[in-house]
Amino acid sequence: MTSACGCSAPEPAAPDAGCSLETEPLTPWWRDRSVLIPVASGLALVAGFLLEWFTTAGAAATALFWVALLLGASQFVPGAVRGLVTSGRLGIGLLMTVSAVGAVLLDFVEEAAVLAFLYSIAEALEGRAMDKARSGLRALLGLIPRTATILVGGRPRTVPAESLAVGDMLRLAAGERLATDGVVRAGRSSLNVSAITGESIPVEVGPGDAVPAGAVNTSGVLEVEATAAGTDNSLTTVVTLVEQAQHEKGERARIADRIARPLVPGVLILAIAVAAIGSLLGDPGVWIERALVVLVAASPCALAISVPVTVVSGIGAASRFGVVVKSGAAFERLGTVRHLAVDKTGTLTRNRPTVTAVLTADGVVREDVLRWAAALENHSTHPLAAAITAAAADIPEATAIEETAGRGVTGLVDGATVRVGHPRWLAAGELAARVEELEKQGMTVVIIHRDDVPVGAVGVRDELRAEVTGVVDTLTSEGIGVTMLTGDNTRTARALAADAGITDVRAELRPEDKAHAVKELAPRGPVAMIGDGINDAPALAAADIGIAMGVTGSDAAVESADVAFTGDDLRLIPRALRHARRGHRIINQNIALSLLIILILPPLAITGVLGLAAVVLVHEVAEVIVIINGLRAARSGQPPLGPIAGTSIDTSTEGRQHAGTLSP
């Protein structure tokens, strides 16, 4: 359970610099004591009511109520008392403890048992969600291989990844994943860093280039000098950042706790004052009983149930239109969001590179350029290759294929030598100015040579999702600010942001930089972050609300987020925010009514106007009212999403006025 509940949970272990590569699976709920005990409390409570209503076994019913009370109370009373003694923590857990004790002293064991069960099961479910999130973070470490190949005296040797030290020389063959951070000392290749940065287009590397842990070598052989230990690298740092952020978030008080802090001492002082002063002025027995009635009158029965019933109803309704909220506290915070930080690749974009421009030299036709390029790219696994082959109407046979790692491909097509590669390897010739323009627009450009003569260039980029512009406009109109966070270069990021209607762009960010940027946005109001990649995990955890693209997102992103979309339609963002804001209003209404009851009943109990029976009756009526009001959150009022108005892509132009490439 979270410590935010007012109960004291064991503090999460502080993440250390050297994370172990071992992972601990989450305990199944049927073996989790924190869930089973509240469930047992509920079963005992139901059994007690059944005996009381349908039999004459009053003693047996009372015994079951006691069982339900003790089981439920065991989940929050020790923690509430411990928190009070050790750190002076005053939360709703302590107020529930005081109220349950008062009810028992007045021989209302049933009331105390109901309170204990409701509170313990709510805390158990939220605690379960938090444990699942922490457990899922360790899946990040699965990106690090168990073993690595190092060179000792020029000879390869396989060693455990955990044993790697700074200065070790690693040999990375094609298809292998890098076990720790390092610098390329020999060889050239392309690295797939999509799992780390979100960038779906491989990065070309050569001697002197830094490479991150978790990157996959796509071609050639590299020799990499380790610059970090196997258990202390950029990937383990991501895990540490996420764990720290989630720990800090778990410490934040929920609405009920913030109210309980001043309420708890106030109620206790009031009850003691009634008993002491009344005993001096009149019959001690009468005034001690009135003091106990005051405790029950100030019981947060309605408060304890008003928020959970609203949250559960709201979460259930959200799930029906594709939004999964992982905890009650997350739903509460979602309704307060005033600013949205958004990842680019896979979130704003489709994460599917496509050919968006084809340049041709004089006397060369577009179709031929695509045919020649596709003939060679058909033999490559590079993401750009798939985009180019998909754009070609037909693909001729190519022979004598030779791939230059990190540069391009050469082969014979239609009796001529054809080369396909990036502009830093192949000269663009007369197309240079137009190639530069495409790159300024954010495209990744491939140059095609035929018999050593530049004949064309193909521009590839990732398209914005069709709904992005409309979503940004909607959020802006509703007073929600939008910021793009990306690891891509500034030029590309600004080009895409302009298309999307986003003016605040922060580019060239590492995962830890994204988390820092989210914290910098905090003065603008509660911040939500939406992303889909491992590189987004620290920012998702650091935000007040982390939102993951559940279908396309990585496990790390989903697990570190507070909210997950079951689809990839960004129109879910304003829908989810509106729904949560409505739930937040209902919560405030219920809290206001609950506090009104707490303010009115104690004076009436002190003066003797209301006895215990009347106080209990008022509480029960108030509980019914807040439950009915809370159930309103189950009606989302959200119509089904209609089709997205798509935009056609003109692949025949030599350039476009707007574009953007893939980025993290």
Phi-psi region of 220 (alpha: psi -120 to 50; beta: other; left: phi over 0): left
Q: How many CB atoms lie within 10 A of CB 450?
A: 19
Q: Per residue in 561-616, pLDDT tens?
A: 788 787 778 888 999 999 999 998 998 898 889 889 888 988 998 888 887 778 77
Cα separation, 466 vs 372, whole angstroms? 31
Compute CA 400 distance to the chain's CA centroid, rounded to the nearest angstrom: 48
Cα separation, 571 vs 320, whole angstroms? 15
Do residues 160 and 150 lie in contact, with contact meaning Cβ atoms separated by under 8 Å?
no
Compute CA 192 distance to the chain's CA centroid, rounded to the nearest angstrom: 24
Closest CA to 502 of 517, 485, 519, 488: 485
For 451, residues 6+ apart whose C-beta sits below 8 A from its C-beta are 416, 417
Q: In this structure, what token pair is assigned to residue 395?
A: 């693909």
Q: In this structure, what token pair is assigned to residue 8?
A: 């004291």
Torsion of Cα atoms, 616 then 618 then 624 then 630, to 10°: -110
10 Å CB burial of residue 393 (0-12, 13-18, 19+) is exposed
Which amino acid, one-letter code, is at 100? A
Cα separation, 80 vs 620, whole angstroms? 25
Catalytic residues: 343
pLDDT of residue 238: 61
Cα separation, 301 vs 118, whole angstroms? 10
Do residues 579 and 314 lie in contact, with contact meaning Cβ atoms separated by under 8 Å?
yes
Q: How many CB atoms lie within 10 A of CB 39?
A: 17
10 Å CB burial of residue 224 (0-12, 13-18, 19+) is buried
Q: In this structure, what token pair is assigned to residue 212?
A: 């991150």
Question: Structure pTM?
Answer: 0.62
Residue with structure tokens 């089709």?
643
What helix, strand, coil percent values describe the chain, rounded to 5?
A: 50, 20, 30
Residue with structure tokens 């590397």?
205
Closest CA to 294 of 312, 272, 309: 272
CA distances from 415 to 37, 159, 365, 451 (A): 77, 48, 18, 10
Cα separation, 72 vs 40, whole angstroms? 8
612-630 helix and 284-297 helix, angle to the nearest 10 degrees: 0
Cα separation, 170 vs 229, whole angstroms? 12
Cα separation, 356 vs 353, whole angstroms? 9
CA distances from 200 to 246, 421, 460, 551 (A): 28, 17, 12, 17
Cα separation, 662 vs 444, whole angstroms? 9
Compute CA 66 distance to the chain's CA centroid, rounded to the nearest angstrom: 40
For 657, residues 6+ apart whose C-beta sits below 8 A from its C-beta are 441
Q: How many CA atoms lie within 13 A of 224 on its CB side?
A: 35
Cα separation, 621 vs 614, whole angstroms? 11
Q: Buried (b) or exposed (e) across 175-195, using 16+ Cβ within 10 A?
A: ebbbbbbbebeebbbbbbbbb
10 Å CB burial of residue 323 (0-12, 13-18, 19+) is buried
Which amino acid, one-letter code, is at 168? D
Torsion of Cα atoms, 121 then 126 then 128 then 133, to 10°: 180
10 Å CB burial of residue 415 (0-12, 13-18, 19+) is exposed
Closest CA to 422 of 216, 212, 201: 201
Q: In this structure, what token pair is assigned to residue 112?
A: 């105390």
Q: In this structure, what token pair is assigned to residue 536?
A: 């987004």
What pairing do the DSSP bridges indicate for beta strands 504-506 and 563-565? unpaired
Residue with structure tokens 């990190």?
406
10 Å CB burial of residue 534 (0-12, 13-18, 19+) is buried
DSSP secondary structure string for all residues of 404-437: ETTTEEEEEETTEEEEEE-TTTS--GGGHHHHHH
For the range 158-162, what are the long-range contacts, defined as Cβ-Cβ under 8 Å and sequence gap of 24 or more?
160/230, 161/21, 161/230, 162/20, 162/21, 162/230, 162/231
Cα–Cα–Cα angle for 240, 245, 246, rounded to 5 degrees: 100
Regions of the chain with pLDDT less than 70 = 1-27, 29, 91-92, 122-123, 125-143, 194-201, 237-257, 260, 301, 304, 381-383, 405-406, 489, 534, 550-559, 636-664
Backbone angles phi and psi of 376, in degrees to 5: -85, -45
Q: In this structure, what token pair is assigned to residue 254?
A: 């929920």
- E strands along 144-181, which residues? 147-152, 155-160, 169-172
Q: Buried (b) or exposed (e) across 46-69, using 16+ Cβ within 10 A?
A: ebbbebbeeeeeeeebbebbbbbb
Do residues 580 and 314 lie in contact, with contact meaning Cβ atoms separated by under 8 Å?
yes
pLDDT of residue 405: 65
